[in-house]
Structure 1
């Protein structure tokens, strides 16, 4: 009797994560079961539990992985000093949403009904709010932004606006051109923060 070749644990974990992301491109989180995911892999069901506790744990890992991609955009600032530097941040953000829009939409929807996903997704967005608030405070201290602007709430409003807009813009085909989205977001942020055009 021939034995099935052993899978490299890292390869099997990657396969499950890739399949989960592909699943969330097509279906809502509520339909993502362990069986639904594993039926799309070349692995047996027990292999799932080597890497993940349950479907919620799998969703959290997908959020975490996308968070790494999104997190790379946080430090691309330069709004007040250099328009191209500011647009670079929005371009990177829009490109991640253009690539993963349906998955981010599915995770956003899952956050409204699943406490664990809500906490992870909320933490991801909060990272952006904290980073934006820091940048706003720095530009405020430099005299580039008016002193009476509410730093925390402005950062919260702008980031959640971006999250909703980008999720809606890139969750279905056809979606707008990335550069069009970049220009819209840059215009809104620059006007809100620096009061100019």
Structure 2
């Protein structure tokens, strides 16, 4: 019983320490780019030692990637669920894009840090590339693009989402619901125009 209690307390403390590190990094990333940040900066802000960092993360890029990845994964699930009930192509597109805009508005600096990390870290690049591929596959299915030769066009649209939303929300400046709506409207217009070109105006069945 004593051993079990001790292990439970250890897990609690590890979770608390990890949470403090993540919170400190997110706060710092609201005013600094990832290349301007050091492990010492993060741990000083967290009130912990540098040694504690390496019990949870390999390096700064590992921290950023591992924190951002679940946000994107949750977005995939949300996009799938939101679009499932849509009856029109416009509703499908907007249903997929609005949660994306909301998430970038909430986590913009962290999204920007994950994107920036791809220029410095192979693991970060691999994670982001995989996530872009998953968003591309899901989006292609939802808008009815089945021709493999047209998948690259969908991928280009997904990458456009990332670049545009980082431009809108990556700085971490306070945003309003109107900002999110404006971004969603802009992306929806581009996607609908592209879909009209790709599918010739047809409204495919949701798959």
What is the TM-score when the length of structure 1 is the normalising length? 0.80
Match of 2:111 in 1: 104
1:99 Cα deviation after fit: 0.8
Q: Distance in 2 between matches of 1:127 and 1:18?
A: 27
- On the 8 A contact 2:92/2:142 being kept in 1, the answer is no
Q: Distance in 2 between matches of 1:130 and 1:83?
A: 18
What is the TM-score when the length of structure 2 is the normalising length? 0.76
The alignment yields a C-alpha RMSD, in angstroms, of: 2.6
When you count helix as a share of all residues, which structure comes out higher?
2
Q: Say if 2:81 is the partner of 1:81.
A: no
Match of 1:160 in 2: 159
* Structure 1 residues 8-29: Cα deviation after superposition (integer angstroms, max 9, x where no partner): 1111111111212222222111
Q: Distance in 1 between matches of 2:145 and 2:141?
A: 10
Unaligned runs of 5+ in 2: 1-9, 202-207
- On the 8 A contact 2:145/2:151 being kept in 1, the answer is no
Match of 1:131 in 2: 138
Unaligned runs of 5+ in 1: 1-5, 142-146
- On the 8 A contact 1:21/1:62 being kept in 2, the answer is no
* Structure 1 residues 66-91: Cα deviation after superposition (integer angstroms, max 9, x where no partner): 22343234313367725344322211
Match of 2:204 in 1: none
1:59 Cα deviation after fit: 1.9
- On the 8 A contact 1:38/1:48 being kept in 2, the answer is yes
Match of 1:191 in 2: 193
Give aligned pairs, total: 184
